[in-house]
Every structure is written in structure tokens, then in C-alpha cells.
Structure 1
Amino acid sequence: MDTAAAGRALELAGPLRDLLPPVDFCCAYGSSLLHARPDETSMVDYILGVADPLQWHSENLERNPEHYSSWMARRGPGAVTWFADRVGAGVYFNPFVQWRDKRIKYGVVGIKDLAMDVLTWDRFYLSGRLQKPVHVLVDNWDIRKVNTVNLKMATSASLLLLPQEFTEYDLYAKICSLSYMGDLRMLFAEDKDKVKKIVEGSFQPFQLMYRPLLQEYISDGILKTSTYGQQKAFKQDCGVSATSELFSSLPWTIQRKLQGRLTSNSKEMPTHAIVASKDMAARYVRTVLRRRVMVSSARQAVCGLLASGGAVAARYMGKKMSKAWKSRTS
């Protein structure tokens, strides 16, 4: 994220300190941070990691009951956390929160649940968000540590999905697209050029995040570098050994599912990934991620619809669909 975007994030960090209960982790993201002059209706999005979501929502409901829909506020913090965990993807969002002349949206998640999703891609919701550049406002060593694993897994998955030769831009676009594969909102409620705009608006932050990992793959012989115009380009080893190494970097939940399929008649699970070819690995990764993203995005949409109430949900969806329509007709 460039200096101007970082400045806007820090400027909007004020609401978190002045308005909300303390958090253990916080990052800002969203398209409004990428634009020098965001429009009046744009919101900056926050992810808030907290030790105890029930206790946090209890305190926040006392401080800021207007952030919640009236019927959710009446039901209390237990209903809020129940909706987040049982209906949604583990996070509860409060959108359209007004603070002075700013508008924000914040999602609250248990810090342990956040770390688990980042490590296992079990829901592949917030883990996908942290694979893209964000501006960390409240750092957390545990989240930073597990997210380094998340970034390596995202790189490995993207390499499996990419052809033998590709550019640095192609790689970041593929990483960015992982968490949108299967997202139903991309059909009608998201900008069709969303991935392109994120990568172009955050290309240098992507480089800072992923170039050390790419150097590891170059040192291991999986990647070779060249140039394509003014861009760095890569050629990857598509052999079985390199493919197996990439696949073994993915979350164990994904590896064990494939191993289980291939060894359904065996009593023992192999300790190392068994991958017959790059095409097979790519098909499997694409299928698994699409399914997880589809389920999580649908659950979170339903959670938001029910929790925020009809008027707020219609307002939020209308804003998203308007942006999506403009991107398809411009």
C-alpha cells in the first residue's frame, strides 16, 4: 500500500481507538484506500481480531448499540456471536458506521478463529483477505507468524494453477483471484475488474509480500526468471517432483482430502502428498477452493442479510450492485 493509502488508513484508525473496545489485531483494507480521492459513499473496511468475541460484543453493544440492527441489539451479544459462527463464516460485520465525517465497516472475529482459518483455509474467507496487501494498524505476532505460512500456501496454489510461463503480474492476479473463485457475489454484486484494480493499485505491496517467497522457489529450482517487456517473468518446473513439493505446501486439510481419495482402499494415510501430474493437482485445488469460497461467501451473505436487517442489507447490496453494473457497462 502506498504512502497516501497508509496515511488514509492511519487517519481512519482514530475511530478504532476512540469508538470501539480494544482489539488484539486490526487491519484496514478496501478499494477506498487505493484511490487518492475516494467518493463520499465509500467505506474503509476493517478486520478486528479479539480474544473473546462474546465479551467484546457485549462491551460494544453498551457503547455503540446503533452500530447493530435494532433486532440484533435487543437479542444481545450471544445472538451476535451465534450468527457469526453458526450462520456466517466466523466474522460479524457492522457496515455503514458513521464516525464524524467518515464511514467505516468493521468485521469482528475471534483471534483463534482467524489464526485457524489462515493456517487451514477451512473457511477460506479472512485467510483470502490476508493474502492481499492490507494496512496493519494493530499488529499481532501470532497472526503475523501464521500469515507467513498463508502467503507461501497462496503462492504454491497459484503456481499450480498457472501455466509453465507467466509474468509477475499474472502471479499476483492469480493469488488475488483465489478468494474470489466460486464467490457468488462476483456474478452480480462485484466489479468485474476487481482483481485487476487490486493488483494494479497494490503492485509494489504485492512485491514486498511475495518476492522473498519467490526467491525461495528460485533457489529450490522450481522457478527460473526472465524478462517480459518491463516486467519480470517466470518459467516453472511442471514435473511431478516440483508439483508434489508445491502441493505439499498447501494446507493439510486440502492434502488429506486428496490423499484420502487416492487411498480409499488403504488402511494407512501416506505421509507425503501423492500427485500424479500438475493438471491433476490444479483441477483438485480449483475444485476445493471454489467449493469453500462458494460456501463461505454464501453463508456470510446470509448472515449479513439476517443480522443487519432488510433496510441496511438492501442499502449495502444496492451499493455493491451499482458498482458492479458500472464496471460492466463502462
Structure 2
Amino acid sequence: MFLKPVGRGTWSPFAQQPAVYRFVRLLQQDATSAPRTETSNSSLEASAAARVNDPSKSASPIQRQRSQFSYPPGRKAEIPAVHLPSRFGRNQEVPVTDEKRKLLEKIVSRFRNVRWAVAYGSGVFEQDGYDQNAPKPMIDFIFATSYPSHFHAVNLQHNPSHYPAFARWLGSDYISKVQEWGAGIWYATMVDVDGQLIKYGVISTDALCEDMMDWSTLYVAGRMHKPVRIIRPDARVLLANQINLVSALRVVLLMLPEEFTEVELWEQVAGISYAGDPRMSIPGAENPQKVQNIVRPQVDRFRGLYFKLLREIGGVSPASGPADISGLSGDEAAWTALGLGKSNGSGLLKQNVDADFRAQLLKRLPRNLKKGLERVFAERFETKVVRPGAPPDAEGLEEKEFWRRAVAEPDLRKILDQEIQRIIKGPATSQSFKGLLTAGLRKSILYAAAKIGKWWKSKSKKA
């Protein structure tokens, strides 16, 4: 929603406004529309929005100094800083061992102009289905940068071997344009950094935050639904991802039945990004048990990431009635009260299925998903949504009543799943083909062969 990416055809309602304020206004729009029932998280979002309302107050001394210097072509000023309360987003701080942390930080330090960075996957967190005696797995990273063309220009000088020969010849402008295709990310794979094999994706900060808040492609936003290790934090991305995580919970609550286990909750969350991904339907492209392999050994990490947000959304409680939290304190007491007390994730939960509550969940879904649902149900109901502030003679259903009717539809879960697949399928498919350009033919073949090997081992163990 911030800029019009090359080749992605995304229309922006802020296209004619100064680029420097687009993201700030989007944060304000989401923060100020939060319902009063979600007091803690919403008040923090509103506080952040208030702080960025005046750019001169929100900019740090360092950023004010930077304003005296020139910026790479295409941008005349930085987006004002977002200052958040000190404890905001602590749920996103997924711990790793000191040894792993130092390794990840050392690798990221080899790259310049990285505004935000995370590491993820089996190279960071343990997953089921992997041979512990096998060579250490490749570590996956995502880097966000304000100016992709500038990042690639510098990276071509320092790390030319990370790019295929034709990309080196065509230069950073070509690379940044290709990056915008599909999900807006350029992946370099099977790269050796200080003896460690890594894969890293480069995405613009604008495209990253757009995906997190609007679910424009769900390619990186879906990755962030699972535990990741943040190596280089950024306040705007932190806030956008907090909204992204809340959106994931709203979606899965709408898709789950009235009663479900904790593991089923986390598997639904982890599985969002794989809906519509062509790799899941191609033998050898991806492990069919990947979602279960991610969740089972990481139940505690999913709790740490989501339980406070789940409590703020409300509507979830132990199926057996109020839990006994005597003798417990801190996080353990909080998640036990929600019904997340069993270490293996088998605790049975119950959610509020009241029509008004579920209509509120639908109403607050990410923009791209909500737009698709509105299109489907408007056609089914043969009407349109009349929003607050519309003329008195406007024809259609009031927004509240429209979503009340939608949650009563028996195939709501199916439609939700179809719309999520619609969002993911196109960008995920083009990203898969784009790998031939970003990695080169040789590395693409080697990477595909490694994936098929993992799939074959998983299939053999299951048999």
C-alpha cells in the first residue's frame, strides 16, 4: 500500500501522497480502528500512531543528523521513526542459545544496508523429521532494506559470487526490478558465509510492511506467523508484524470449530502460509508433514509468540472450565488460564461462537483478505456493504449486519481457505519460477535436489 512496485500491479490509495508519510498513515489507520475490547495491544498501537503523528517529534537525534545527508536515488527522505513503549513486541523475541545468536549476528554483519533481519527454519530452530547426525542445515534469512537497488549495488561489490553471472552483468537496477516480481523478494541460495551455508531473501521495507498489514502476498507475512529469530530489529516492522500476528489468530479462530486442542490451533497458524503454495502439491518440492514438523517441537515458542495476543482478542478459554492457577505466576499462570497448560499441547480449548464476536473478527481481517471475502458475500447476498458515514439513502446492508450474515454461512471456512489460497498462489508460483533467475540454473538444480532428498527421507521414515 505504500509504493507502486514494478511489475506487481498493486494500486495504492496513497500513491499521490508524499512517500515519507504513507506507512505512518497506514499505521494510524489500523491503530485507531481497533475495538475497545483489545485494550492492551490496541492502546500500544494507538500510542505508537500518536507518536508518529508529528514527524519532528518522532525522529531521533541520529535521524535528524541523517537528514542533512543525501539519500540513494528515488527517495528524498526517510520515513519518520516510530517510537514504541519499551515492552512492546516482547512476544516476538524468540530466544536462541548464545552460540547460535552470535553466529547469526556475525553472518548478518557481513551485509550492509540491512534495516531489519530475521533468521528462521531448521537451521535456527529444531524441527521433527531431520537427522540429528546429518551435516548442519542451511540457515535461512530475510533482510529488509529501504533501498533495494542501493543494497544490491553495494552487495554486488562485496559479494559478487552471491549472484548468477548474468545478474552481475546486468547490474543492480535489473536485480531490483526482478526482485519486485511475485512476492517482491530476491533470494540468494546456497551461499557460503564464514563456512556456514545460508539462503537469504532481500525485500524492501515498504513491501514487507505492506504484506504484514494487508496480506498482499502472504509470502513473508506468512513466514512470520511461525517462530523466527530477529537479528536486527526495526520499530515499524515490529509494529506491522504485531498486527500480522493478531490477524493470523483472527483467521484461525474463524476456521476452527468451537472446541479444539492447542496443537490444532498452532498447526492452523503455521499452515496459513502453505495454503495455495504450489510446492505443497508437487512431490519432492516440500515435505507434506512440514507443518506438523514445525509445530510439535515448538509448542512453547508458539505460546510465547501468541498467548498474550490471544488473551487480548478474547473469546478463548479452557473447554473444561476455569483453570486452577494457584501456585503459578507470570507467563505460566497466564497461558494456563487460557487452557495452554499441558506441555504437549493436548489441552482442549473452547472459543466464543457468538455471531457478534465472530463478525468482529471478520470485520478486522487484513485488507486484501477482507476485500476478497466482501466480494464473495456481496455477490451471494446480492447486495453491497453500506459503511458508516454513507448517505442515508445508500442501498445495501450495514457493515455490521453484512458480516453477521457472513459468519452464519455454513461454508465460511471453505471460503476463507479459498481466499487465502487466492492471495498466496500467484506470488508463490512466480517466486518458484523466479528462483531460476535469482539463484541461477546450477544452484536451482542443487537446491531442488536437496529438497527432494529431504522429501524422500521423510517418506521412507513414514513407510
Normalised to the residue count of structure 2, the TM-score between the two structures is 0.66
**Structure 1 pair 212/22, CA: closer, same or farther in 2 (3 Å)?**
same
Q: Name stretches of at least 5 consecutive residues in structure 1 with no aligned partner.
A: none
Kindly state the Cα deviation for residue 2 of structure 1 after the two structures are TM-superposed.
Answer: 5.1
- Say whether the 8 Å CA contact 2:123–2:136 is kept in structure 1: no
1:202 aligns with 2:298: yes
CA distance in 2, matches of 1:50, 1:254: 26
- Say whether the 8 Å CA contact 1:182–1:290 is kept in structure 2: yes
1:317 aligns with 2:408: no
Kindly state the Cα deviation for residue 38 of structure 1 after the two structures are TM-superposed.
Answer: 7.4
Task: Tell me which moved more, 171-180 or 190-199.
Answer: 190-199
Please provide the CA RMSD for this pair.
Answer: 2.1
1:255 aligns with 2:348: no
The equivalences for 1:267-286 within 5 A come to: 269-270=386-387, 272=399, 274=403, 275-277=406-408, 279-286=410-417
Kindly state the Cα deviation for residue 225 of structure 1 after the two structures are TM-superposed.
Answer: 1.5
1:154 aligns with 2:248: yes
Kindly state the Cα deviation for residue 82 of structure 1 after the two structures are TM-superposed.
Answer: 1.3
1:80 aligns with 2:175: yes
Tell me which of 199, 224, 231 is aligned to 1:137. Answer: 231
Tell me which of 288, 298, 303 is aligned to 2:419. Answer: 288
**Structure 1 pair 269/306, CA: closer, same or farther in 2 (3 Å)?**
farther
Task: Tell me which moved more, 129-138 or 225-234.
Answer: 225-234
- Say whether the 8 Å CA contact 2:369–2:423 is kept in structure 1: no
Higher relative contact order (CA 8 A, sep 6+): 1
1:125 aligns with 2:125: no
- Say whether the 8 Å CA contact 1:263–1:269 is kept in structure 2: no
Kindly state the Cα deviation for residue 186 of structure 1 after the two structures are TM-superposed.
Answer: 1.5
Cα deviation digits, residues 145-178 of structure 1 (max 9, x gap): 0111111110011111111111111101100000
The equivalences for 1:173-192 within 5 A come to: 173-187=267-281, 188=283, 189-192=285-288
Structure having the higher strand fraction is 1
- Say whether the 8 Å CA contact 1:97–1:103 is kept in structure 2: yes
Partner AA of 2:275 in structure 1: M
CA distance in 2, matches of 1:15, 1:38: 24
CA distance in 2, matches of 1:224, 1:279: 24
Structure having the higher helix fraction is 1
Tell me which of 91, 108, 126 is aligned to 1:16. Answer: 108
Normalised to the residue count of structure 1, the TM-score between the two structures is 0.91
Q: Which runs of 4+ in 1 moved over 6 A?
A: none
1:235 aligns with 2:350: yes
CA distance in 2, matches of 1:198, 1:51: 31
- Say whether the 8 Å CA contact 1:32–1:38 is kept in structure 2: no
- Say whether the 8 Å CA contact 1:239–1:277 is kept in structure 2: no
CA distance in 2, matches of 1:208, 1:161: 22
Partner AA of 2:202 in structure 1: V
Q: Choose 1 or 2 for highest CA Rg.
A: 2
The answer for the alignment partner of 2:289 in structure 1 is 193
CA distance in 1, matches of 2:264, 2:114: 36
The answer for the alignment partner of 1:55 in structure 2 is 150
CA distance in 2, matches of 1:278, 1:26: 41
- Say whether the 8 Å CA contact 2:189–2:200 is kept in structure 1: yes
The answer for the alignment partner of 1:326 in structure 2 is 457
Tell me which of 132, 146, 161 is aligned to 1:66. Answer: 161
Q: Name stretches of at least 5 consecutive residues in structure 2 with no aligned partner.
A: 1-93, 321-338, 389-398
**Structure 1 pair 281/268, CA: closer, same or farther in 2 (3 Å)?**
closer
- Say whether the 8 Å CA contact 1:29–1:135 is kept in structure 2: yes
Equivalences, count = 324
The answer for the alignment partner of 2:183 in structure 1 is 89
